[in-house]
Amino acid sequence: MSSGVYKYVKVCFWCPHLLPLVLFMYFNATPGREKTMLKASLVLLALGGAGANTSSQLQHDLAAHKQQAAKLSKTKNSFPQNFQNLQNFRRQQDCGGQGTTWGPGIGPPPTGCGGGGAPAEGQSSTCETPPCVAADLGDVGFVTVSGSDSRTGKTFAPGENIYGPFEAGFTSTQDNIRSQLGCATGKGYVAGGIDTLTAEAMVAFDCGVSLPRIEGGDYISLLDECGGHTQEYHFHERLTCLYDAAASGHSTQVGVGLDGQYLYGKSEYEVGIGGDTRPLLDACGGHFGVTPDSAGEVVYHYHVQDSAPFTFGCFGPILDDASGNQKLITLAECRALYPKCSDEDNIVELTTSGGTFEYNSWCPCFDANGSNVGTEELAVFASGESIFGPPSAGWDASGVEELTMLKPDDAGGNRNMLAAGVLAVALMNVFLF
C-alpha cells in the first residue's frame, strides 16, 4: 500500500470540541447569511472529526498489521530444521517415471517426490499465496515428532512422510497384499483416487472380510494401527502413535504441512464447554485458534480428522478482500482449486457394506456429510463461530513505514491551516449576530 493515498490526510484533532458551540449558534441564528456560514462551519467540523477518527483507526490498523507481519516473519524463520532438510532431500529425488513406474493403478511415488517431479494439478511443494492445492499422490507434509505403536513397539522418527488421502489403486500388481487381507483371486480391486478409508471399506465388502481386524496377533488392514503403511513408510490417517489422544486440552503437534503450518491431533479444549471436543474445521482441515506452540497468539493450523481428507485437504487460509483479514476456506473455494472436483467424468459409483454412493475420484474437498460430491456446507460456516483470523501480512514494508509517519502528534502545517479555517468561520458567525 502506498503512502501517497494518505499524503494529504491532515487532521484537526480538537475540532470536535467546537461542535457544541457551533450547534448552539446555528439553532439560535436568524435565517440568511449567518445560518449559511454556520452550515459551512458544521461541515468543516464534521470533516475534522471524521479525519480524527479515521487517523486514529488508521494508526490502530497499521500497528496491528506490523505486529502480525512480525509474528509471521518469526513463524517463517522457526520452521523445523528437519522440514527444511527434507524439502532439500525431496528436490534431490528422481521423481520421473509417473505413469510408468508409479502413478494411478501402479503404485505410490518414490519417497520425497510428493506426487511428481514438478508441481501440477493436485500437487504443491510450496504455498506462498494460499489457498493452494495439496498433492493428490505423495507428500503433503511431514511428521515433526517421534512416536511408537504401543502394541507392536514399532517406532517412528520425525520426518516420516504424510501423504494425501488417496491411494494409487489396487490392481493385480498388489495381488500379494490383497491375499494377505483375505481376498480371493480377482477380488478387492479398487481404482485410484479413492481415499484410504473408503478404499478399505470397498475391499472388505468385495472380499467378504472384516477390515481392520486382529488375527493371530497381527493387525490386518490396508494401514497399520498408526495410520500408515508400506516399506517406504508414510502416513495417510490417524497418526495416533504420535500424540496422546486421551490427554485433555489441545492436542499436541504431530506434523507440518508443505505450507509450513502445523498439524495437531484431533482434540481441542473449548472454553465454556469443557472437555475435549473436535474443532470445527474448514475445507482444508484448518481453523484459527491458539495452539500449544503459538505463545497465546491466534494462528491458522490444521487438525487430524477421522474422515477424509484426514490431514490436509488443501493449504489455507484465504485473504478476505473486504476485511483484509484471513478467512477460512469454504467447500466451494476448496473445490475451485482442483479442476477434477468439477469434472463430472470423475464421478463414479462405489459400493461398501453401507450401500452404493457417488464419489468424485481425486477430489479432496468433502462436505459436511463426508461427501466429495455433495454440497452441504461445513458446520463451521453455520455455527456462528468467527470464520476470520488475523489481518493478512501481505503488506509492503516500506509502505507501512511511510504511513506510520502520519502520527497523531504530528503538527503538520496543512492540519493547522484547516484548524485555523474552522475557527475563523466560527468566529465570523459570532460577530454576525
* DSSP letter, residue 273: T
- The pLDDT of residue 395: 31
Helix axes 19-27, 33-76, angle to 10 degrees: 150
At 428, give phi and psi (nearest 5°).
-60, -40
User: In the beta sheet, which residues pair with residue 257?
Assistant: 141
Write down the pLDDT at residue 110: 54
Angle formed by the axes of helices 413-431 and 33-76, to 10°? 160
**Residues 138, 110: Cα–Cα separation, whole Å:** 8
Q: Which of 368, 339, 370, 376 is nearest to 357 (CA)?
A: 370
Can you give the pLDDT at residue 11?
39
In this predicted structure, what is the pLDDT of residue 165?
97
pLDDT value for 81: 44
Q: Are 287 and 328 in contact (CB under 8 A)?
A: yes
DSSP letter (8 states) at residue 122: T
Cβ–Cβ under 8 Å, residues 235 and 345:
no
Each of the 433 residues of the chain gets a pLDDT tens digit; together they read 333 333 333 334 445 555 555 555 555 555 555 555 555 555 555 555 544 444 455 455 455 444 544 444 433 333 444 445 445 444 444 545 545 554 444 555 554 444 333 333 444 446 778 999 999 888 999 999 999 998 889 999 999 999 999 999 988 888 999 999 999 999 999 999 999 999 999 999 999 999 999 999 899 999 999 999 998 899 999 999 999 988 888 999 999 999 999 999 999 865 445 555 789 999 999 999 999 999 999 999 999 999 999 999 999 999 999 999 999 999 999 999 999 999 999 999 999 999 999 999 999 999 999 999 999 999 999 988 889 998 864 333 233 233 222 233 333 444 444 455 555 555 555 544 4
Rounded distance, CA 218 to CA 228, Å?
A: 15
Tell which residue, 104, 135, 129, has the closest CA to residue 117. Answer: 135
pLDDT at residue 383, rounded to an integer: 86
> In whole angstroms, what is the distance from residue 280 CA to residue 298 CA?
15
Give the long-range contacts of residues 351-356, CB within 8 A, separation 24 or more.
Answer: 351/202, 351/205, 351/206, 352/198, 352/201, 352/202, 352/204, 352/205, 353/201, 353/204, 353/205, 354/201
Enter the C-alpha cell of residue 372: 466429495
Residue 63: Cβ within 10 Å count: 12
Provide the CB-side half-sphere exposure for 252 (13 A, CA): 15
Q: Any residues with CB less than 8 A from the CB of 384 and at least 6 apart, and which?
A: none
CB crowding 149-174: b at 16 or more within 10 Å, else e: eeeeeeebebbbbbbbbbbbbbbeeb
CA atoms of 245 and 248, how far apart (whole Å): 8
Cβ-count burial of 373 within 10 angstroms (0-12 exposed, 13-18 middle, 19+ buried)? Answer: middle
- Smallest Cα–Cα separation from 226: which of 236, 217, 216? 236
pTM for the model stands at 0.66
Transcribe 294-309 into DSSP letters: TTT-EEEEEE--SSTT
- Taking alpha carbons only, the member of 344, 339, 326, 327 closest to residue 365 is 339
Domain boundaries of the chain, sorted by first residue: 3-70+397-431, 86-338+378-391
Which class for 216: exposed (0-12), middle (13-18), buried (19 or more C-beta within 10 A)?
exposed
All cell numbers assigned to 92: 534431490
Grid cell in block for residue 115 = 506426487
The residues, ordered by sequence, that sit 6+ positions from 119 with a Cβ below 8 Å of its Cβ are: 125
